[in-house]
Structure 1
Amino acid sequence: MSGFFATRASQAGRRAFILAHDTLMAALSFVLAMALRAPESWSAENTYALIVGTIIFAAVSAFVFFSLSLHKSVWRWSSTADQMTVVRAATLAVFLFVPTMFVIGRLDGIGRSVPFIQWFVLVTLLSGSRFLYRWYMTRRGERSVFRQRTPILLLGTGEGAAIYLHALDATPGSAFYAVGILCDQGTLVGRSFNGVPVLGGAEDLEQVLVDLETHGIFAERMIVTKPLESLPAGLVGRLGGIARRHGVEIDTLPDLLSLRLGGGGVVATADEPMPVGAPRWLEVKRFLDVAVSAALLLFTAPISLLAAFLVLVEMGNPVLFRQVRPGHGLRPFTLLKFRSMRSPRSPDGRLLSDQERTGMVGRFLRRSRLDEIPQLVNVLKGDMSFIGPRPLLPRDLADLADGGWERSRLRPGLTGWAQVNGGHQLTNPDKMALDLWYTRHASPWLDLKIVFLTIRMVIFGEKVNQAAIDEARAWLDHSGSSSGAFEPAREVGQRAVV
């Protein structure tokens, strides 16, 4: 019973807050309308009308908003109907306010255009605050704990696609995320549907998959959101053949029974403790990251322009490689690089080797690490640090017993302990051991050592430091940290981008 009353009290408090907010927006809308009307010819009469009008309009608006139950709407899920209620409430409030002020003072001091400006400002304030709240809550959900999610394509832009996308948005921790839509209306290509880009028509599936793979996005499933019988004859068979070549499963919307990941797993949050003694250093390190990355972005601007031009000449658009990876606290972020490899498939659909995909410019950029200059933007934004474990792909972290939480305690770095002790020459278990060792031993002196070792690595190339590997493995065996760190990694072939 006490819980029931507590819930009702909480609901009443939220509704009172919304009503107070909307009333305040109404008062502010009249003030702004008066200010916008004629700020250069203000008089005492205008001041009197402003004070009286603000009080009267706030009272009238509170009555209207309460009568139309505007305070009972849930902002997080505000719909078009809710926005229309806002418009009706604003219209009725202004409509009642004008005759009221006419009776009180014959609208002296209030210009004829004020009610129109007032209505527009009020609708903007009420709708804008609701939109901003919904946008904030959506963004907060996107920044929540990173779970391994399956990128999918949708076929169709009808009601089925809209329902499915709304279901994804409304499902916290959903197992899928839509990367694009294929449609059968050429006029929609290049536009977006519920925030998801329309990448092409159904007949463009092959090219769309190749373009996505260039950006490191490997769609594992395609959802057909319209009846199969409505598709052109023979198209289903052609789509099936293309999907098989790219390892894409095809499902129809009625066959989908679940949107959430099953099973347990480690849920990581940013509130988990950092390594002992590290928090103060991490604060200083973040300040240095911002200062140095901003300076380097300016210093390397000419190099970046030259690199972008060379990439454009050798490989064409896009110049940048973008890939979503789990970062600090396993939160997803978009990692940036200059492209160093061509499309993973030849024009005839044949899968190319890394050597075939990498040209002279690409090899130079990778060898000199110049391809990572755009990651200075990631450092400046706070997605990454200069020093830390390299951000891995979600499928690589999925092979770890803890889902990669242990190594995500620190921001991923441009360089790290694993990179300076062997880099690409190391096995995945050795990289994991070195990364985990670093997360527990991070310090100013260790980071300074990594800086000098990185310079040596760029000049002289990668060299395996077996002593550091043995020390990391011995520490893991002794501490028992992340006991599942050495589970065998899955074979991902061309998809492994480190």
Structure 2
Amino acid sequence: MAAVSFILAMLFRAGDVWSPENTDALIVGTAIFAGLSALVFFSLSLHKSIWRWSSTADQMAVARAATLAVFLFVPTMFMIGRLEGIGRSVPLIQWFVLVTLLSGSRFFYRWYISRQGGRSTFRQRTPVLLLGTGEGAAIYLHALDAIPGSAFYAVGMLCDRGELMGRSLNGVPVLGSAEDLDHVLVDLETHGIFAERLIVTKPLESLPAGLISRLGGIARRHGVDIDTLPDLLSLRLGGGGVIASADEPMPIGAPRWLEIKRLLDIITSAGLLLFTAPIALLAAFMVLVEMGNPVLFRQVRPGHGLRPFTLLKFRSMRSPRAADGRLLSDAERTGMVGRFLRRTRFDEIPQLVNILKGDMSFIGPRPLLPRDLADLPDGGWERARLRPGLTGWAQVNGGHQLTNPDKMALDLWYTRHASPWLDMKIILMTTRMVIFGEQVNQAAIDHARAWLRNQGATYEENSELDSHAVI
């Protein structure tokens, strides 16, 4: 599809006027764009999505992959032939055609599969009403379609926005607002449909105060039970689980400058991926020679809002066991290449992909292991207010030389004081750290600890955590 998108873009742009330069650009550009697209698609794991269940997130991944592929293609062709034979509008047409092909093929496949399977019968199934027209409702309706023997079917939805009246989601109509529950139930009963359950698909904290109690009185009069989607799907855990219950505080939303920061992360990471490509290839070759496959180290860690993501790094250590089964020390596992990659921070180049995907930012608290977050008093919610960073306040004030309580104090201080000026300072301090090595800043540590004491919080009790756990 990538190759076809460039060919179609060239044909659309050139029209009836075709020259030998166009032919040369078409041949070379098609091969190069196909190769770059393959690299980008595999790097962003585009091939791993299941087309039958493609979601909005999958379509956004398609758009990101197409954008990065075209972004890398244009400067590559400029360096090869100064874009001779390629019209200025070709990259834009090329991007539009590629997104259309990638997204359209997924939509067509979903439509074809749905036509093959058909809908299951409503006979002997319990009618239910849904409160909410968002992502939760879409998930529940897809689940009903995916289970032919389901005991329920949705007869209608209640919305919280008037402009959705008369619309439908997955074929289920919006019958009224939440305040219209009594009238909706009466109308359904008039048509011989007796809804037995009202399923709340929206977060309870997003509903107006007192709404559930008012709906509960109406539901009792009609013999309707009220359930919530998290309870039906067993998503709520007691004792501060990763998925918060309705009365637990969620991470605070980002201010405007963090949205600008995310845009800068995308632009900068895309540019650095292109700039560091030769270094990355050399580093991958060195790792392959010294340690063999795999070249990349992958580890799942909690990220922004405690959502898990796969952290990427170049391997800097060999297998933890020798050929005879003996457990090796960290010094024995780290060879010359590994030490060089760690000292220069080249082992973290693959994390530019994490930043481009939105898993990480350039600046923020370093992502911890799940077992470390479980030992924190708040389960790690405070640190998860911001995206984890490639570098951060703890790294530039001592890094690996700090104890875990010191790192926690510095990270928590940063989450409450993050600003563009502090980020600029961290960038400058990171440059100094890479050149001169890590240096402990005791004044910054003392200041962060004093701030924590003023907030009524302390992380001293977690000093028993492994000193290598936060990396």
Q: Which residue does the alignment assign to 1:337?
A: 313
Correspondence 1:293-372 to 2 at 5 A: 293-372=269-348
* Aligned-partner Cα distance in 1 for 2:264–2:451: 29
Correspondence 1:211-250 to 2 at 5 A: none
Q: Which residue does the alignment assign to 2:143?
A: 76
Correspondence 1:44-123 to 2 at 5 A: 75-76=142-143, 78=145
Q: Choose the corresponding residue for 1:485, options 415, 434, 459.
A: 459
SS for the counterpart of 2:313 is strand
SS for the counterpart of 1:401 is coil
Change in CA separation of 1:270 and 1:447 when aligned onto 2, cut-off 3 Å: farther
SS for the counterpart of 2:462 is coil
* Aligned-partner Cα distance in 1 for 2:237–2:243: 12
CA contact (8 A) 2:372 2:465 kept: no
- Which structure's relative contact order is higher, taking Cα pairs within 8 Å and 6+ residues apart? 1
SS for the counterpart of 2:415 is helix
Q: Give the partner amino acid of 2:400.
A: H
* Deviation at residue 492 of structure 1 after TM alignment: 4.6
* Aligned-partner Cα distance in 1 for 2:462–2:267: 39
* Deviation at residue 350 of structure 1 after TM alignment: 1.7
Correspondence 1:376-415 to 2 at 5 A: 376-415=352-391
SS for the counterpart of 2:461 is coil
Q: Which residue does the alignment assign to 1:429?
A: 405
Q: Which residue does the alignment assign to 1:452?
A: 428
Cα displacement string for residues 92-116 of structure 1 (whole angstroms, at most 9, x for unaligned residues): xxxxxxxxxxxxxxxxxxxxxxxxx
Cα displacement string for residues 372-428 of structure 1 (whole angstroms, at most 9, x for unaligned residues): 000000000110000000000011111110011111100000000000000000000
* Aligned-partner Cα distance in 2 for 1:472–1:343: 37
* Deviation at residue 479 of structure 1 after TM alignment: 1.9
Change in CA separation of 1:310 and 1:280 when aligned onto 2, cut-off 3 Å: same
Unmatched 5+ stretches in structure 2: 1-114, 128-139, 151-169, 172-231
SS for the counterpart of 1:487 is helix
SS for the counterpart of 1:323 is strand
Normalised to the residue count of structure 2, the TM-score between the two structures is 0.51
Cα displacement string for residues 167-226 of structure 1 (whole angstroms, at most 9, x for unaligned residues): xxx9645xxxxxxxxxxxxxxxxxxxxxxxxxxxxxxxxxxxxxxxxxxxxxxxxxxxxx
Q: CA RMSD in A?
A: 3.3
Q: Which residue does the alignment assign to 1:272?
A: 251
**Percent of residue pairs identical:** 72
Q: Which residue does the alignment assign to 1:165?
A: none
* Deviation at residue 478 of structure 1 after TM alignment: 1.1
Q: Give the partner amino acid of 1:488.
A: N
* Aligned-partner Cα distance in 2 for 1:364–1:270: 43
**Structure 1 residue ranges (4+ consecutive) displaced by more than 4 angstroms after TM superposition:** 64-74, 77-83, 170-173, 264-271, 489-494
Q: Give the partner amino acid of 2:252.
A: P
SS for the counterpart of 1:418 is helix
Number of residue-to-residue matches in the alignment = 262
SS for the counterpart of 1:346 is coil
Change in CA separation of 1:81 and 1:266 when aligned onto 2, cut-off 3 Å: closer
Correspondence 1:181-260 to 2 at 5 A: none
Q: Which residue does the alignment assign to 2:417?
A: 441
Normalised to the residue count of structure 1, the TM-score between the two structures is 0.48
Q: Which residue does the alignment assign to 2:32?
A: none
Change in CA separation of 1:75 and 1:459 when aligned onto 2, cut-off 3 Å: same
Q: Which residue does the alignment assign to 1:101?
A: none
* Aligned-partner Cα distance in 2 for 1:316–1:304: 16
SS for the counterpart of 2:460 is coil
Cα displacement string for residues 96-152 of structure 1 (whole angstroms, at most 9, x for unaligned residues): xxxxxxxxxxxxxxxxxxxxxxxxxxxxxxxxx89xxxxxxxxxxxxxxxxxxxxxx
* Aligned-partner Cα distance in 2 for 1:457–1:421: 9
* Aligned-partner Cα distance in 1 for 2:302–2:381: 10
* Deviation at residue 262 of structure 1 after TM alignment: 5.8
Q: Which has the larger radius of gyration?
A: 1
